Amino acid sequence: MEKHKVRVGITHGDINGIGYEVIFKAFAEPGMLDVCTPVIYGSPKAAAYHRKAIDSQVAFTTVASAGDIAEGRLNMVECYPEEVKIDFGQPTPESGRAAFLALERAVEDYKAGLIDAVVTAPINKNSIQNADFHFPGHTEYFEDRVGGGAKALMVLANSQMRVALATTHLPISQVAEAITPELLLEKLRLFHQSLRVDFRISIPRIAVLALNPHAGDGGLLGTEEAEKITPAIRHANNEGIHAFGPYAADGFFGAQMYHHFDGILAMYHDQGLAPFKALSMSDGVNITAGLPLVRTSPDHGTAYDVAGKGTADPNSFRQAIYAAVDIWNARRFDEEAHANPLRRQHNSDRHDDAEPKKRNQEISE
């Protein structure tokens, strides 16, 4: 298998947010160019404007295509050649279109084998909507573009925990109906596989959160735990997936039970992400598991309130780059480990092998 420094495509996100600021700040650390070969998908004009606004000295090199990227420098592929107006802190149709074009070019280059992984800067989910982007977020977009029928799983990871979501960008009024035993079993399978391969945990332990307060309180506060969640956990256990629960979410996080598990499956977005971000906002990473593409992002949004001020924290974005590289290498390791398995020896094989020995013995007698 060919060995090379991981080529990480970085989409610039919403150009009126903090995307360029966290990109430049992350690569202000010289050692980052030893971690990967980066290529930004964006606008040289927008990048130059941001760099001046935050007084950054980080240089980038514009290349015609990802096929021309070079190690040891911050490369950029131009995806938005028009003149661009930067309006810090404001979502605009122009900023949405620029974000969309960067995503499309990155996907195109990934499919062509020119990059290995994608790290996305934050987008505005409303301004990016158009005839070709009708998704509630990055996760669903990548599932459509590169999934090939595979299902995506949103996983948030930091130094303390890994949280996966059974439902993602869904109105709370639709969550209970969307949760089914089949959906939960699918998510548990995806999570188990990601923990085993992407995070190299040989026998992962997964905690499953309840949907209702007090885990339904024996049916008094809801029946989803008994009718949907517990059957899914039981079925997962029968498949060899070590899933436990359901646990009432408030007590689970309040008692710091997350320290005893390798992963947590939350039922809906804020159930998992509110405590996740409260406990560790600066180093969280959003990971799209389940797809052939390795895609990560910081766990924050466009941060319009601080855009252009030079005060954005780049640590989450830096951790997203580290995670993309680590996961890509983990998947290569897993592929190599299972590339040439030994042929299984069946009883019939052993019997056939034994027959000549038996006949030889009879002849010698």
Give the pLDDT confidence score for residue 356 in this predicted structure: 44
Let me know: does 297 contact 119? Beta carbons within 8 Å: yes
What does the alpha-carbon distance between residue 173 and residue 234 come to, in Å, rounded to a whole number? Answer: 27
Only one residue has tokens 């970085």, namely 10
What does the alpha-carbon distance between residue 210 and residue 225 come to, in Å, rounded to a whole number? Answer: 6
Let me know: does 162 contact 323? Beta carbons within 8 Å: no
Give the pLDDT confidence score for residue 3 in this predicted structure: 67
Let me know: does 208 contact 245? Beta carbons within 8 Å: yes
Let me know: does 228 contact 212? Beta carbons within 8 Å: no
Give the pLDDT confidence score for residue 280 in this predicted structure: 78
Q: What is the mean pLDDT of each run of 10 residues along the chain (365 residues)?
A: 83 98 96 97 97 96 96 96 92 96 98 98 95 92 95 95 95 96 98 98 98 93 96 98 97 96 97 92 91 96 96 96 97 87 58 45 39
The answer for residues whose C-beta is within 8 angstroms of residue 290's C-beta and 6 or more apart is: 143, 147, 150, 151, 152, 153, 190, 193, 194
Give the pLDDT confidence score for residue 107 in this predicted structure: 97
What does the alpha-carbon distance between residue 320 and residue 38 come to, in Å, rounded to a whole number? Answer: 13
71 three-class SS? coil
Give the pLDDT confidence score for residue 339 in this predicted structure: 82
- Prediction pTM value: 0.89
What does the alpha-carbon distance between residue 318 and residue 199 come to, in Å, rounded to a whole number? Answer: 18
CA angle 336, 142, 43 (to 5 degrees): 105
